[in-house]
Chains A and B, each alone.
Chain A
Amino acid sequence: MKNIKISSKNVNVHYGAKQALHSVSLNINENEVTSLIGPSGCGKSTFLRCINRMNDLIDICKVDGSITVDNEEIISDEVDVVSLRSKIGMVFQKPNPFPKSIFDNVAYGPTIHGIAESKTDLEEIVHSSLKRAGLLKEVKDRLHEPGTSLSGGQQQRLCIARAIAVNPDIILMDEPCSALDPIATAIIEELIDELKANYTIVIVTHSMQQAARVSQRTGFFHLGELIETGDTQKIFTNPDNEKTQGYITGRFG
């Protein structure tokens, strides 16, 4: 039995009067990849953004219920979101490198958190992060060019390198491959597979094949409800719920 890293209980999210999540309870295991699937607008991103409190940025968004990370409650005003977010990295659906150099993009996190002791230390962190994100070979001669000059897939890997540079425990990925071609997607999937040895990964995806390839566990959302969770193998071969069955066989969604 794996350790439970993140545990949500009865999480409800409202955008103004509209309820986007209905009593979602989901456990996420340590050092595993958990994928969240479901039709568009069902609340996958909303749930993901609850875990690192990014929903705080949306004024009309109200979250209640309980989410624990390492058995500590995070849905509370007392939580220091800055330290929470340094523990939980996030990769967005659309690559969003900072308009700075490739080096500075990766160095940003370690710099603001004061992780690097010296300049060589920082360079070491940047290099190893880029290497782990599978980007170093392509960019090592152009570290001082703007991050925005990279291709879409490279930018996405840069964002992954940026996220792992601060050495988080958890990485949240919101459709990281939605803008990428099959080759770039394969590179990122390979990367996710490697990363799971050290990190807990939650990935939102629209691609059933991707969920099946990279994740150990899967959660299926529908209309703001978590319909079913379980081992990926089981969800894709023999789901308990009809709706899940319908979605994965492409009958709706």
Chain B
Amino acid sequence: MSNQYSHEKIIQLRKKRSAADRRFKTYGLIATLMGMAILFFLLFTIFSKGYSSFQKSVIELEVSYDQETLKITSDSTYEEQVKAKFFRVKKNAIAKALPDLSKKDIKLIKKMFSINVDKEIKEYFLNNPNILNTTQKIFVTAHSDVDQLLKGNARRNIEEKKRKLNDRQLEFFDEFVSSGRLKTKFNNFFFKNADSRHPELAGIAGSFVGSLFTLMTVFLLAFPIGIGASIYLEEFAPKNKFTELIEVNIANLAAVPSIVFGLLGLGILLNVFGFPRSTPLVGGTVLALMTLPTIIIACRASLKAVPPSIKEGALAMGASKMQAVFHHQVPLALPGTLTGTIIGLAQALGETAPLIMIGMIAFIPNIPTGFTEPSAALPVQIYLWVESSERGFQEKTAAAIMMILIFLFLMNALAVFLRSKFERKW
């Protein structure tokens, strides 16, 4: 019977189709798992390389705040205390860091401390001025070479010449460790300092604040311009060849490599208009150009997605075109626009090439306090650290990547939050 025959064929086909379904599901699952595995591997490597830079090594010193050495008295004013000779106190303390040190030993042991030690000794005193003429046990920051050895990042069982610390210094190191005077603690410098030539003092604060200023510039420039342009193009512009050309070119602009925007900033903002070099203002302006098309495309898409019946309803009530747009369409398009804007800002946060072009790659040891002050930015800081040969900077690189990722996650969380806050149903 032909009927039965065709029936069999249909059953066969159905089996084939559900097999295809299952296969496809498996492929999808494998792809997702692979993606997640790669992501976790990435995060794990970054974290395992970077987490140690949230710790620093400190060595205990016995500091005697002797008024003769400091050249102050108990009646001295705060200004006099600030100018007191703390470097002499430090020198004495280091010379007695371990018992029976020769002159040569002192020279060697001095290199095991950070150059920041006098400041730490001074700070400790300024916080407790009544310790004059007493002896205090203070943990002060160790040199990066000691730090790396303690954290196990540097190897000790290699030829002396290839090591940062020589055999004698290793003896001191072991003595400090065995007496419990060398330990790690939370690295406050990493979070409160700007960049530094000394790895143990280098921090992320300068470039973090620089990135913050840069992103603010991007937002303040690109958001209003982007929204204005989108509303004009979507609602007011006559539909002709010229606006079509503009639309095509906005899409093109979104695809222009970022380094080209950097060249533009260098050629026009710096050389023609004389904007101050390596500042968040210039960096932000250049990145705003790059972000603009992303914002425009997102904003126009969300304006388009507003049901036309809402606009018709408003216009039929006798609302002017502008009222229809601003009272009804813009509020509904806002969540999508904000999401697009934050995606654009996230892109801008990670851009390195254009910032290098406009000189934001300079070594800046200060935390910027304004838009027109030379500053670093997070991605450029990563670039600078990964380039430097000192081992101490390697863990900083990974830690800085962690910071940029956290920044990005926070921004995305903000996007999700704003979306759910402003989203309205219709």
Contacts and interface: CB of A to CB of B under 8 A. Distances in A.
B313 A98 contact: yes
A83 B318 contact: yes
A15 interface: no
A108 B327 CA distance: 10
A135 interface: no
A89 B425 contact: no
Contact of A96 (B313, B327, B332): B313
B426 interface: yes
Task: Determine the interface band of chain B, counting residues with CB < 8 A from chain A.
Answer: 20 to 34
A96 B318 contact: no
Given A99-B332, A166-B318, A54 B425 contact: no
Interface in A102-158: 108-109, 112-113, 146, 148
Interface in A208-229: none
Q: Which of A109, A112, A159, A162 has the most CB of B within 10 A?
A: A112
B426 A85 contact: no
Given A59-B239, A99-B425, A148-B425, A109 B310 contact: no
B317 A96 contact: no
Contacts of B177: none
Contacts, number: 68
A147 B131 CA distance: 72
Given A92-B309, A98-B310, A112 B317 contact: yes
B323 interface: yes
A85 B319 CA distance: 8
Nearest to B311: A57
A112 B426 contact: no
Contact of A54 (B315, B424, B426): B315
A94 interface: yes
B317 A108 contact: yes
Nearest to B316: A90
Contact of B316 (A59, A89, A112): A89
Contacts of A92: 309, 312-313, 316
Contact of B310 (A52, A99, A112, A146): A99
B111 interface: no
> Which of A87, A109, A166 has the most chain B CB within a 10 Å cutoff?
A109
B425 A82 contact: no
Contact of A163 (B310, B317, B426): B317
A86 interface: yes
A162 B315 CA distance: 13
Given A85-B318, A146-B424, 15 more contacts: A54-B312, A54-B315, A57-B311, A59-B239, A85-B315, A85-B317, A94-B309, A96-B310, A96-B312, A97-B313, A99-B332, A108-B319, A112-B317, A148-B426, A163-B316
Given A57-B315, A92-B309, A98-B328, A82 B320 contact: yes
